[in-house]
C-alpha cells in the first residue's frame, strides 16, 4: 500500500471515529509498518490526528491489528475504563 493510499483510508476512518473504525485504522497502520517502517506510522498518526481520534500515540507499534506499546499490549477500546484496557 502506498503512503498516499494509507493516508486516504486513515482520514476516512478518522472521520467516522468509532470503535470499529479504530480497528480498521490499526490494520492499516500494521500494513504501513510492515511496508514502510515505524517512522511512516508515526508520521501518519500525527498527520491524521489519530492521537486525538483513537488515542494512538507516536511510537506505538502496530502488528496484526494490535497496538503494542513498550510496556505491553494496549487494546484501545473507547467506552470502557476511560477508553483503554491494558493486558
d(CA 54, CA 70): 18
pLDDT beyond 60 at 56: yes
- Examine the pLDDT at 26 and tell me if it is beyond 80: yes
- Spatial separation of the C-alpha atoms in residues 25 and 46, rounded to whole Å: 13
State the cell numbers at 81: 475504563
- Give the Cα separation of 75 and 65 in Å (integer): 10
Lowest mean pLDDT of 20-24, 40-44, 65-69, name the range.
65-69
52 exposed, middle or buried (CB, 10 Å; 0-12, 13-18, 19+)?
A: exposed
For residue 60, pLDDT beyond 70: yes
Could you give the angle at the alpha carbon of 26 between the alpha carbons of 21 and 28, nearest 5°? 95
Find the mean pLDDT for residues 33-49: 97
Amino acid at each position: 500500500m502506498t503512503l498516499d493510499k494509507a493516508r486516504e483510508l486513515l482520514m476516512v476512518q478518522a472521520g467516522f471515529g468509532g470503535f470499529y473504525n479504530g480497528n480498521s485504522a490499526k490494520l492499516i497502520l500494521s500494513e504501513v509498518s510492515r511496508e514502510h517502517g515505524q517512522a511512516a506510522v508515526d508520521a501518519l498518526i500525527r498527520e491524521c490526528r489519530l492521537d486525538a481520534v483513537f488515542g494512538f500515540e507516536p511510537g506505538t507499534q502496530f502488528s496484526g491489528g494490535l497496538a503494542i506499546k513498550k510496556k505491553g499490549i494496549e487494546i484501545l477500546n473507547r467506552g470502557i475504563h476511560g477508553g483503554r484496557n491494558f493486558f
